[in-house]
Chain A
Amino acid sequence: MGRITLRNVAKRFGDVAVIPSINLEVEDGEFVVFVGPSGCGKSTLLRLIAGLEDVSGGVIEIDGVNATELPPARRGLAMVFQSYALYPHMSVRKNIAFPLKMAGMEPAEIARKVEAAAAVLNLTGYLDRRPGQLSGGQRQRVAIGRAIVREPAAFLFDEPLSNLDAALRVNMRLEISELHQTLKTTMIYVTHDQVEAMTMADKIVVLNLGRIEQVGSPLDLYRAPANLFVAGFIGSPKMNLIDGPEAARQGAATIGLRPEHIDLSGSAGIWRGTVGIAEHLGSDTFLRVQVEGIGMITVRAGGDTDLRHGDAVWLTPQPGRMHRFDADGKAMA
């Protein structure tokens, strides 16, 4: 079981309210990703749930029990840190066994559980090495192993992939997702990378300046961003945000158009522009088009598009795909 409820949770450091007040419901077995730019309070929120920071106000409930005042160890949660935080003087085996040893479990039972965790994480051959002799990805797996042996109510991940190189990051992303499918335990995952959020999450929580901007499934957030911040943050390349007379014509302060929702033509269309930079990725081509009277617009085209710098093109927004925002940045129906 791992159902976590936050009610009016607040955190202040001195006079600075890092998190003014947050309400959030994490269902049992859910994979929830906290995403936001750096300094948005997502790591602080995770540390509040873990019990590593004291809340300044509000209530944290884990499985219906008020855990606000409980020390970290008694909350039944396990955390994977950004730096992995392995114990450098202990072997991998002892690292994974440490929480069980602290819980006073029988040595035979500990050995069995460590072997089982090592088998799941492909660490069996490395059990007698020290963390210093392992690669980044292996250390990451040891940190996860140390978390899973405790069979916690929920896993907390604090930007666990940010120290890995790009290829390994994609691999570990898949491994963590698979682990979630196998264990079916609640996971809360903090990242600043919206790609990680989109690919892994059941539910994304977008945070900005200590406030929740929007909560929803990846595709909900992608299709119907509640405000300008979410619209600009989710999606890669970014949504085109256009203000000025062009937006006013649509009866909005700002309009948003995703790069794939713009049709491209060499002869006719609504907006006329010139290609600035064309990024050929093979499967797709991203064109940066300078449109007269509007500015730079990113357009996604097919992989075999053969347009170059300086070519003239016509753009047409697809009907019904336009997002409209009012002067406060809120989405309009």
Chain B
Amino acid sequence: MATQHSRTVARLMISPAVILLLLWMIVPLAMTLYFSFLRYNLLMPGMEEWAGFSNYRYFLTDPAFFTALRNTLVLVAGVLLITVIGGILLALLLDQPMWGQGIVRILVIAPFFVMPTVSALVWTNMFMNPVNGLFAHAAKALGLQPYDFLAQSPLLSITLIVAWQWLPFATLILLTALQSLDSEQMEAAAMDGAGPLSRFIYVTMPHLTRSVTVVILIQTIFLLSVFAEILVTTNGGPGTASTTLTYLVYVQSMLQFDVGGGAAGGIVAVILANIVAIFLMRMIGKNLQA
């Protein structure tokens, strides 16, 4: 019985949980916001003073800022492109009946279980290293000059490493979506004269849109904060060629000991994430409605 009285009691009862969650979110955000307006340098402890918007001015006029912004967006977009297209193709392949299906599926999922630091190290040292890497060996075997991935195209290399990690996630989600496709629909389409390509376009893809949307939204959240792969491989370099916003915040606060500037960068990153989120929801959010 939902009387006025019982509703009031219900609100009272759930308030501890709601308040806890609110504090959980609001306290770190409020402190970051507070620090971003302070001149707060770890080399001069105890000398914090009100700085107004100067932290923001310095961060936004930093020549590395726009490079970092562009790198962040390129990295996210690149990884999304590779994982979504690759994920659909891999899912289609894994959905075919074949011998050793279980083992193959586990192998495909395996990269997702490797820690980012480890996988980045494995890629830099064992694959992309211009002297000892497998790619260098392959190039030499073909009589070509080995390519120094991390020096020549650092952002592309990091994109590849991150895409390798996230491909299993996309594949897994899309594979389960494919398996939930009614086989009679495919048969009906076959009877209706649709060839394999038409069946993919008119039956499979519409069925997958919702899962693709989920993959894009979830991956975007995690990709905006990619950090370990950059720290382990290029340290944001050469120059600022592979510095993302997350990495720039780290440089500001931990390498230059400027907590105030780092906090300002963090707030800028939060705003960017929200802008990206709004764009994404505008573009593909309607796919999530039933």
Binding site for B on A (CB under 8 A): 50, 52, 71-73, 77-79, 81-83, 85-87, 89-90, 98-99, 102-103, 146, 150
Contact = CB atoms under 8 A, between A and B. Distances in A.
Contacts of B188: 79, 81, 85-87, 146
B52 to A, nearest CB: 54
A103 B184 CA distance: 20
Interface stretch (B158-166, B167-175, B190-198, B222-230): B190-198
B202 A87 contact: yes
B193 A102 contact: yes
B203 A87 contact: yes
Interface in B198-222: 198, 202-203, 206-207
Given A87-B202, A87-B203, A102-B198, A73 B191 contact: yes
Interface string B6-44: 000000000000000000000000000000000000000
Contacts of B182: 83, 85
A86 B207 CA distance: 12
B153 interface: no
A133 B207 CA distance: 17
The DSSP consensus for interface residues of chain B is helix
A52 B190 contact: yes
B187 A81 contact: yes
B185 interface: yes
Nearest to B199: A102
Given A81-B184, A81-B188, A83-B182, 11 more contacts: A71-B190, A73-B190, A79-B191, A85-B184, A85-B188, A87-B185, A87-B189, A87-B202, A99-B192, A102-B198, A103-B193
Contacts of A90: 206
Contacts of A73: 190-195
A275 to B, nearest CB: 47
Interface of B: 182, 184-185, 187-195, 198, 202-203, 206-207
B203 to A, nearest CB: 6
Contacts of A79: 187-188, 191
B130 to A, nearest CB: 49
A79 B189 CA distance: 10
The 3 closest A-B pairs by CB, nearest first: A99-B192, A85-B188, A85-B184
Contact of A89 (B190, B192, B198, B206): B206
Contacts of A72: 187, 190-191
Nearest to A158: B184
12 contacts: A52-B187, A73-B190, A79-B187, A83-B182, A85-B182, A85-B184, A86-B188, A87-B188, A87-B202, A89-B206, A89-B207, A150-B192
A98 B185 CA distance: 12
Nearest to B185: A85
Contact of B184 (A71, A82, A89, A98): A82
Nearest to B186: A85
A223 to B, nearest CB: 37
A46 to B, nearest CB: 12
B184 A87 contact: no
A89 B203 CA distance: 9
A71 B207 CA distance: 24
A322 to B, nearest CB: 45
B188 to A, nearest CB: 4
Contact of A98 (B192, B206, B207): B192
A52 B184 CA distance: 10
B186 to A, nearest CB: 8
A27 B197 CA distance: 35
Nearest to B183: A85
B220 to A, nearest CB: 24
A83 B194 contact: no
A89 B287 CA distance: 11
